[in-house]
Amino acid sequence: MAQHAGYSRWCYNWGLSLWNAAYIDGYKPNARKLREVFTNHTKPLYPWMKNLSSKVYQYAFINLGEAFTHVFQRIRKIPKV
């Protein structure tokens, strides 16, 4: 259980840094695009991720997308690492 929690946090922070970089560069990131980049490019670089559930990172990116939806609706502040 602790491994999954750490994995979720790692994915959330990775997604947050990529989201911020893409937004600064003028792109409009979303949770689906983050998940595609993660699955196709980042996950193969870390073999330890194969032992953990894929639902963990999917929900991490969904939660990140919802956090930015709240930012754009001016409900909350920008998420931090």
Q: What are 4-43's pLDDT values in tens digits?
A: 999 999 999 999 999 999 989 999 889 999 999 999 999 9
Query: Residue 77: inside a domain, yes or no?
Result: no
Give the separation between CA 39 and CA 30, rounded to whole angstroms.
14
Query: Residue 80: inside a domain, yes or no?
Result: no
pLDDT band at 77 (very low <50, low <70, confident <90, very high): confident
Query: The whole model's pTM is what?
Result: 0.83
Give the residue from 5, 13, 2 showing the smallest Cα distance to 61: 13
Number of separate domains in the chain:
1
Residue 43 makes CB contacts below 8 A (sequence gap 6+) with 49, 57
Domain that holds residue 34: 2-72
Query: Residue 59: inside a domain, yes or no?
Result: yes
Query: Residue 78: inside a domain, yes or no?
Result: no
Q: Where are the beta strands (DSSP E) in the chain?
A: none
